[in-house]
Amino acid sequence: MKTISLKLSQDLEREIRTAAEHQGIRLSEWIRAAMEERLKKEPRKKRLTAADTFGKYLGIAGDGSHDLSTNPKHMEGFGK
């Protein structure tokens, strides 16, 4: 696991430490569980694709060919 540092007020640290002791778990376990619980409540953003990012620009080039990668006739004479 990755180790991080965070700054807490003395009051917050004391409350967290007390809660962890009452549950019989380590301070780090209590904080990790609290963060995981918070993340469950947050909507997760989906990973964007290139089409999501640049979709508004698709098709602006006019009458370009739509099948360049699949139509063999576009490769005729290529490399000669």
All structural domains of the chain with their residue ranges: 1-44
pLDDT tens per residue, the chain (80 residues)? Answer: 899 999 999 999 999 999 999 999 999 999 999 999 998 887 777 777 877 787 777 766 666 666 666 777 777 777 77
Architecture of domain 1-44: Orthogonal Bundle (1.10)
Which CB contacts under 8 angstroms, 24+ apart, belong to 29-36? none
Both tokens of 10, joined, read 């003395």
Q: What does the CA dihedral 72, 74, 79, 80 come to, rounded to 10 degrees?
A: 100
What is the pLDDT at residue 45? Answer: 74
